[in-house]
């Protein structure tokens, strides 16, 4: 949720950048554009920002698999490196060629639209995760493999489901055990499988359902409200 909010804020900020660029070009058609003057202090500040943001980007990029928030920060630092580098290049050009006054506005609009696109895609991906998107095929295959090979006493793996509830998935596995098996023995098999599944890095929680047959309708196990 924090990433979605952050993506929305960054998208709105980038939209304002696009609007400012358009307004500057419109104003320039109505009156003489104001020349842009940048001193050495401004160049130094931009250079320092680029250096610091590059270090932060490298650090977050290396740790991006630890957390989705860190991955979002890596994307933000990367965007800052790109935008500030382009800004520095534009200012250097404007310092030599005053007739390129429009380049500042055009660069602002292009960078703004690029940032909007990046954060729109990031926000969309996380909205889908919160909405319960089905896990990837490779993840489902891994869950099925674990269930099938967990214990020789499992006669059938009836159902395997997994869906996102945020950054990770909730897994549901239905297995069939012999009807005469003692409760404690069946419990230990189910609990052991649950723990094995929850060791997977992309699993938040696992639920293992034990049954003695698989010929029944799946809907019979749940309350149907429609």
Write down the domain spans for the chain: 2-130, 137-221
* pLDDT for the residue numbered 91: 82
> 222: pLDDT confidence band, cut at 50, 70 and 90?
low
CB 191 within 8 A of CB 181: no
pLDDT digit string, tens, across residues 102-144 = 888 888 888 889 889 988 988 888 887 777 788 899 999 999 9
Tell me the mean pLDDT in the region 12-40. 80
> 79: pLDDT confidence band, cut at 50, 70 and 90?
confident
Given the DSSP bridges, would you call strands 169-176 and 203-211 parallel, antiparallel or unpaired? parallel
* pLDDT for the residue numbered 122: 83
The CATH architecture assigned to 137-221 reads 2-Layer Sandwich (3.30)
Q: Is the pLDDT of residue 209 over 90?
A: yes
The rounded Cα 89 to chain-centroid distance in angstroms is 30
CB 193 within 8 A of CB 208: yes
pTM above 0.75, yes or no: no
Alpha-carbon distance 97 to 79, whole Å? Answer: 27
């Amino acid at each position: 949720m924090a990433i979605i909010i952050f993506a929305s804020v960054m998208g709105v900020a980038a939209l304002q950048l696009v609007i400012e660029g358009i307004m500057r070009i419109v104003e320039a058609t109505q009156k003489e554009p104001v020349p842009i003057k940048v001193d050495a202090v401004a160049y130094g500040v931009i250079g320092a920002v680029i250096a610091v943001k590059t270090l932060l980007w490298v650090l977050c990029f290396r740790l991006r698999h630890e957390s989705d928030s860190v991955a979002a920060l890596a994307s933000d630092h990367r965007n800052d490196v790109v935008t500030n580098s382009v800004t520095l290049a534009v200012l250097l050009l404007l310092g030599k060629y005053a007739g390129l006054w429009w380049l500042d506005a055009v660069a602002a609009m292009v960078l703004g639209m690029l940032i909007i696109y990046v954060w729109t895609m990031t926000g969309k991906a996380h909205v889908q995760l919160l909405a319960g998107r089905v896990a990837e095929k490779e993840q489902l295959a891994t869950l099925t493999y674990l269930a099938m090979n967990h214990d020789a006493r499992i006669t059938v793996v009836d159902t395997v489901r997994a869906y996102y509830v945020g950054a990770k998935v909730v897994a549901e596995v239905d297995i069939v055990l012999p009807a005469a098996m003692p409760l404690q023995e069946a419990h230990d098999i189910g609990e052991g499988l649950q723990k094995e599944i929850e060791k997977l890095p992309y699993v938040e929680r696992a639920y293992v359902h034990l049954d003695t047959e698989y010929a029944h309708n799946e809907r019979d196990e749940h309350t149907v409200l429609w």
